Amino acid sequence: MTSPRRNLIDTASTRYYHCVARCVRRAWLCGQDHLSGNNYEHRRQWVIDRLQLLVNIFAIEVCAYAIMSNHYHAVLHINTTAAKQWCDPEVLKRWTQLFNGPMLVQRYLAGEKLDDAEQCRVDEYAQLYRERLQDISWFMRCLNEHLAREANQEDGCKGRFWEGRFKSQALLDEAAILTCMAYVDLNPIRAKMADTPETSDYTSIQQRITLLDNNLTDKKTGLLLKPLQCPGQNPGESIPFSRQYYFELVDWSGRILKAGKRGAIPADTPPILTRLGIDEEEWLKTIGWNNRFRRAVGKLAAMKAFAEKQGQQWFQGILACRRLYSSAPL
C-alpha cells in the first residue's frame, strides 16, 4: 500500500534520503534506444544542469548521483541549518527564481512600500517558501516536471513521462549513507556501461575523481556535490567519510563486481568497512541492492525505531540490515 510522502520523509529521523525516478513504459531518459534508433545521450546533461540549478536554490545538497538510461538515482541531504539562517528577502528571491510568486511578493522584491497587513502576508509567504526550500518533494517536483516537459517537447508528444512519483528511502545512519552512495556510484559498472569508476560517465564518483585529478574543490568550480571530508574541513559541512577511504571502497567493490567474483574477499578490504562494522560478504551482496531495502536503510536499532515511529512493526530490509551491519554497534 502506498504511503503518504509526509510519512516517508521524516527529518527528525534523518536528513539523508535516496531518491529514484524511473521513466514510464519504454520512454527513454538518456542513452541509445535500440528499437527506434534514437539517441538521447545529451539528456544526461539536462539532469546535471537542473540539479546544479536546484541545489543553488534549495537547502538540499546532492551527496551522490547516477544518470542511467531510463532512470536516475540521487542521494540527497536536507540542510536545515542553512535554511534557518536565510533572511526572509533571500528566501523570497530564491523561490522566485523558480516561480513568479504572488503579486504582493513581486511588489515587495521590487522595493515597493507595503502596509502592515501586506507585510504580514509577505512574512507568511516567506515562512511557507522556507519550508518548501528544504522539502525533498518540492525539490524532486522541480526536477522531474522540468525534465518531463523538455523530453516531451523534444519527442513531440504529451502525457506522462515518469512511471509515478519518485521513490525514496531514509538513510538512518553513517553505514546506510555509505552503502547507498557506493551502490549509486557503481550503477554503470553493474549495468556494464563502464569498466572503472573514473570512466562511469554522469556519476558523482567520476565527478569527484575529476576534481581530485585537477586539484580543484567543489566550491571553486561551483559544482553540485556535497564534499567528502578532507583534513582541516568542518565536519558539519561534509559527508562523514574521508575521500581516500571512499575512493578505495568504490574501486575495490567495482573491481569485484566487474570480475564476477562476488564471494571472494581480498585481504586488502578497505578499512572503512571495519570502522563502520560492515560485513564484507554481505556488503558485496548488498552493493547490487536488488530490492533488499524499501523505505529505509540503517543499523537494526535505527530501523526498528524508524518503523515504530511510522506505526509499523516491520520494514522490508530489516533482516538484510541485521546481516549487513552485524558487527556494527547498535
Q: What is the mean pLDDT of each run of 10 residues along the chain (330 residues)?
A: 65 92 82 80 93 96 94 96 95 97 95 95 97 97 96 89 91 93 92 88 92 63 75 78 90 78 59 83 76 82 86 80 73
Domain shared by 294 and 241, yes or no: yes
Segments forming the whole domain that contains residue 125: 87-132
Give pLDDT, residue 18. 96
Exposed/middle/buried for 308, CB within 10 Å: 0-12, 13-18, 19+?
Answer: exposed
Q: Is residue 271 part of a domain?
A: yes
Mapped onto helix, strand or coil, the DSSP state of residue 39 is strand
Domain shared by 107 and 216, yes or no: no
Domain shared by 282 and 155, yes or no: yes
- The dihedrals phi and psi of 191, each to the nearest 5 degrees, come to -85, 5
Angle in degrees, CA 258, 223, 73, rounded to 5: 45
Give the distance from CA 316 to its chain's centroid: 21
Q: Is residue 329 part of a domain?
A: no
Here the cell at position 125 is: 509567504
Domain shared by 91 and 72, yes or no: no
Domain shared by 168 and 268, yes or no: yes
Number of structural domains, the chain?
A: 2
- Distant-in-sequence, close-in-space partners of 100: CB < 8 Å, separation ≥ 6: 106
Give pLDDT, residue 261. 54
pTM of the prediction? Answer: 0.89
List the CATH number of the domain containing 181.
Answer: 3.30.70.1290
Domain shared by 66 and 123, yes or no: no
